Amino acid sequence: MVLQKRLDCGFSGYQVPAIPRATRSARKRVPFRKRVEGNQISAFDLLAAVAGKLLLDKESAPATNNTRSAEDQCAVETNTLKEESEDGYQSLKLETSNQDSANAEFFASELVPQTSDPNYSSKQSPSLRNGALVATSDCLERFDAQKLMNGKIKNEIGGLACNVETGPSVCGTSGDGIKTVSENKLLTDEELDRTGKASIGEVADKCPLEDAVVLDVKPPALVSSDTSIKVPSCVDHNPLVSFSAKQDDVNIVSRDDEEKSSGCTHPSPLREPFRSTPHIGDRRIRKILASKYWKVGPRSKNVLYSKYDENMKSGYCSRSAYKHSRSGRNYPFKKRKFFYCSSESNSDGGTSNDGISDSTENNNGNNPILYSKMHRVTGESSSLADQHKSFNSRDSHVKLRIKSFRVPELFIEIPESATVGSLKRTVMEAVTDIFGDGLCVGVLLQGKKVKDDNKTLLQTGISCDNQMDALGFSLEPNPSHTTPSLFPGGSPLKIPRDTPLPLARYAANPGLVNQVTCDPSLEPHMPNSGNYIESNNNCASSLIDMFDKSTTESTALIAVPAMSIETLAVVPAHQKSKQSDVAQRRIRRPFSISEVEALVQAVEKLGTGRWRDVKLRAFDNAKHRTYVDLKDKWKTLLHTARISPQQRRGEPVPQELLDRVLNAHTYWSQQQQSPESCLLYHNSTVIASSLHDVDEKILG
DNA sequence: GTTAGGG
DNA sequence: CCCTAAC
């Protein structure tokens, strides 16, 4: 049979924007909308997702009206970089960045000390516990919700790690309006003007809370590299609110390759919103997202594998994730039904994720209006507020700038015959899956994960004086599923099984015929005529093994990690054991045509019932295929062969192979019953060709 | 450890 | 793919 040749592409990142080079050079802004319509892969979606994610936590941000001032409008710049990875694969790096730091800034708001009071925490959205990083970009505001929705954002997420670099530091006291020095001169007056127009109120109006609820929009995941987002510190996470900006306002700015250094992307999970502080950090930090290896479970025909970063291993994996992932794929953002500790958090208007608050010059966090609003909205307890206040007054701000987010490396294998469109869809799906549901941000200080969300930055050691290089951020799975640490007193680990967890499944579009697999280093392989699925298997297996390894070792799952390692660490022994008891379900790896070919050939020769031999003969090198798998596959092949083509799903198996399956099955069935019929059978011209090996063997 | 079959 | 009974 003819197998399609596949192309393997390694993606170290996605370049969001496909902004025309020329444009970029010119540093012009490209209307967001335009880009979207441009059928770009979704830079838009990606951005939206990212932005949304960062900005909102729908769950956590129920009702906030506040938004960031219009002034905060930010432009997202995109940078397209092409990289050549070591393995020779082409890597596409998608980076978006805000062009104007002045316009878009990503600030890390201080963490608000939280009380240990369980009640308190329960009220908060899980993500809120600490300072939230909220990044809101004006530009993103509007499109966000809808776009995001359209963007199919999925729940599960892998972890991303990013490093924060210290950017040009701007230190200011809380009182200072922190004005970021714009590195870019890109903004035009007009732009600036525009930016300034939107008022908070307007924004709020635009984004009614209800909408958010109704839509159940998930915070988009984010990711854009080099994107600086300014978020009012007081901004709620309410997606709607955040995205209230007009579309017009949203611009993608292409930026020159000036700052390519940033290859990082980082996500900021909204899940853990920080209570944004009115103050803005003094420093601007550039976060670099280190790409990790993400592993993606195969979906239907297409399989995307991404490497998961070791860091990510930290354990964001969960078996449950796998199962959930199936359902997780619904794009319409489902409202997350379950909140970790309390469902209240959802309704809690107070929730705000503010991790990074965007501050404009005005809002430095000092903006009284925003401030008050924030409190009101968040509904923080007075005590908390007080703490907050005091904290702020004496504390200097740490200003963080996220330079870029880097999408985890993904490897895609797709037939040459696949269309570009299918490739795009596949990639898009992979990306949306990854960012899909929410990401939470993990903070790493000098390589160590900062677990205590209640500690202040100061207490944690993150201060203006610190080397920001030591600060890193990682993307973690949605906290709502995992954030035990947030509830010191409670038992975090309850992960309700019945609760629909967002899953992440990186499945390729079902409609696609492409098979995406991993293997960067391998050349496209053709099935061998021999029984062995040689290189093919080897490659695949090696990759898979790698995946498996990382998965098991790290405990991190590809898709939706249920919890982080740390989380696990704090889990009670019994719970832990419980988890460990449940072996992780293996990732689904659809059989390729070449594998089917090999299987059929082996079975024709060896017969059914000798799966171990079949395994050794044809899949000895495919470590991930057990004889049970082969047996099961044969079973399904047989079933497939017996049903009408219309009823078949998945990557179509050549009829020829199916015919051989039926013939072999018939033949061997007869063999078992009456060995004598063997000869008779062999004479049959129908199977003769396919069974000639068998003949030889038998006859010989 | 394999096989076979249901889930 | 998982789980298990049966061998």
Q: Is the CB of A643 within 7 Å of strand C?
A: no
Pairing of strands A160-166, A285-290: antiparallel
Whether the pTM exceeds 0.85: the reply is no
Q: Is the CB of A613 within 7 Å of strand B?
A: yes
Q: Is the CB of A120 within 7 Å of strand B?
A: no
The predicted model gives A578-602 an average pLDDT of 79
CA A208 to each of CA A146, A202, A350, A550: distance values in angstroms, whole numbers, following the listed order: 14, 10, 15, 43
Radius of gyration of chain A (CA): 27
C-alpha A357: how far from chain center: 22
Is the pLDDT assigned to residue A244 strictly greater than 60? no
Q: How far is the CA of A11 from the C1' of B3 (A)?
A: 42
Question: Which pLDDT score is estimated for A177?
Answer: 33
Question: Which pLDDT score is estimated for A330?
Answer: 32
Tokens of A455: 């500690």
Q: Is the CB of A639 within 7 Å of strand C?
A: no
Residues A14/A431, Cβ–Cβ less than 8 Å: yes
Is the pLDDT assigned to residue A331 strictly greater than 60? no
Tell which residue, A671, A641, A634, has the closest CA to residue A655: A641
Question: Which pLDDT score is estimated for A633?
Answer: 92
Phi, psi of A408 (to 5 degrees): -60, 155
Question: Which pLDDT score is estimated for A611?
Answer: 93
Give A582: exposed, middle or buried? Use CB within 10 Å, 0-12, 13-18, 19+: exposed
The model's pLDDT over A173-212, given as tens digits with 9 standing for 90+, comes to 333 333 333 333 333 333 333 333 333 333 333 333 323 3
C-alpha A544: how far from chain center: 20
Question: Which pLDDT score is estimated for A351?
Answer: 30
Between helices A627-642 and A655-673, what is the axis angle to 10°?
A: 110
Pairing of strands A302-306, A298-299: antiparallel
CA A647 to each of CA A511, A640, A652: distance values in angstroms, whole numbers, following the listed order: 14, 8, 11
Question: Which pLDDT score is estimated for A106?
Answer: 28
* Mean predicted lDDT score pLDDT of chain A: 45
The model's pLDDT over A2-60, given as tens digits with 9 standing for 90+, comes to 233 333 333 333 333 322 232 232 222 222 222 322 333 333 343 344 444 444 333 33
Q: How far is the CA of A598 from the C1' of C6 (A)?
A: 29
Question: Which are the contacts of A297, defined by CB distance < 8 A and separation ≥ 6?
Answer: A303, A322, A325, A505, A506, A507, A558, A559, A587, A588
Residues A33/A245, Cβ–Cβ less than 8 Å: no
Question: Which pLDDT score is estimated for A632?
Answer: 93
Is the pLDDT assigned to residue A456 strictly greater than 60? yes
Higher pLDDT: A174 or A420? It is: A420
Q: How far is the CA of A586 from the C1' of C1 (A)?
A: 7
CA A391 to each of CA A123, A171, A269, A278, A279: distance values in angstroms, whole numbers, following the listed order: 21, 17, 24, 11, 10
3-state secondary structure of A10: strand
Between helices A593-606 and A627-642, what is the axis angle to 10°?
A: 100
Is the pLDDT assigned to residue A659 strictly greater than 80? yes
The model's pLDDT over A680-698, given as tens digits with 9 standing for 90+, comes to 444 443 444 444 443 333 3
Residues A397/A175, Cβ–Cβ less than 8 Å: no
**DSSP symbols for A252-295:** EEE--GGG-S---B----SSSPPPP-SS-BSS-EEEEEEP-B--
Looking at strand B, which nucleotides approach a protein CB closer than 7 A? 1-7
**DSSP symbols for A410-454:** EEEEEETTS-HHHHHHHHHHHHHHHHSS--EEEEEETTEE---TT
The predicted model gives A583-600 an average pLDDT of 86
Beta bridge partners of A162: A289, A473
Is the pLDDT assigned to residue A620 strictly greater than 50? yes
Nucleotide nearest to A632 (CA to C1'): C1
Tell which residue, A7, A388, A16, has the closest CA to residue A226: A16
Question: Which pLDDT score is estimated for A418?
Answer: 79
Question: Which pLDDT score is estimated for A587?
Answer: 87
Q: How far is the CA of A429 from the C1' of B4 (A)?
A: 38
The model's pLDDT over A252-280, given as tens digits with 9 standing for 90+, comes to 333 333 333 333 333 333 333 333 333 33
The model's pLDDT over A75-115, given as tens digits with 9 standing for 90+, comes to 333 333 333 333 333 333 333 333 333 232 222 222 233 33
Q: Can you tell me the distance from the alpha carbon of A670 to that of A682, in angstroms, rounded to the nearest whole number?
A: 11
Q: Can you tell me the distance from the alpha carbon of A599 to that of A476, in angstroms, rounded to the nearest whole number?
A: 39
Higher pLDDT: A456 or A284? It is: A456
Higher pLDDT: A668 or A239? It is: A668
Where residue A410 falls among pLDDT bands split at 50, 70, 90?
low
Q: Is the CB of A545 within 7 Å of strand C?
A: no
The model's pLDDT over A671-681, given as tens digits with 9 standing for 90+, comes to 776 654 444 44
User: Quick one: which residue's CA is nearest to B2's C1'?
Assistant: A612
Protein chain A, residues 629-668, with a C-beta closer than 7 Å to any atom of nucleic acid strand B: 631-632, 635
Q: Is the CB of A620 within 7 Å of strand B?
A: no
Question: Which pLDDT score is estimated for A27?
Answer: 29
Q: Can you tell me the distance from the alpha carbon of A31 to that of A322, in angstroms, rounded to the nearest whole number?
A: 38
Residues A475/A160, Cβ–Cβ less than 8 Å: yes
Looking at strand C, which nucleotides approach a protein CB closer than 7 A? 1-4
Protein chain A, residues 579-598, with a C-beta closer than 7 Å to any atom of nucleic acid strand C: 582-583, 585-589
Question: Which pLDDT score is estimated for A397?
Answer: 77
The predicted model gives A430-448 an average pLDDT of 66
Question: Which are the contacts of A620, defined by CB distance < 8 A and separation ≥ 6?
Answer: A532
Phi, psi of A162 (to 5 degrees): -140, 155
Where residue A436 falls among pLDDT bands split at 50, 70, 90?
low
Tell which residue, A467, A457, A443, A453, has the closest CA to residue A395: A457
Which of A112-121, A404-413, A573-582, A639-648 is least confident? A112-121
Nearest 5°: the CA angle A318, A322, A323 is: 120
Q: Can you tell me the distance from the alpha carbon of A175 to that of A620, in angstroms, rounded to the nearest whole number?
A: 68
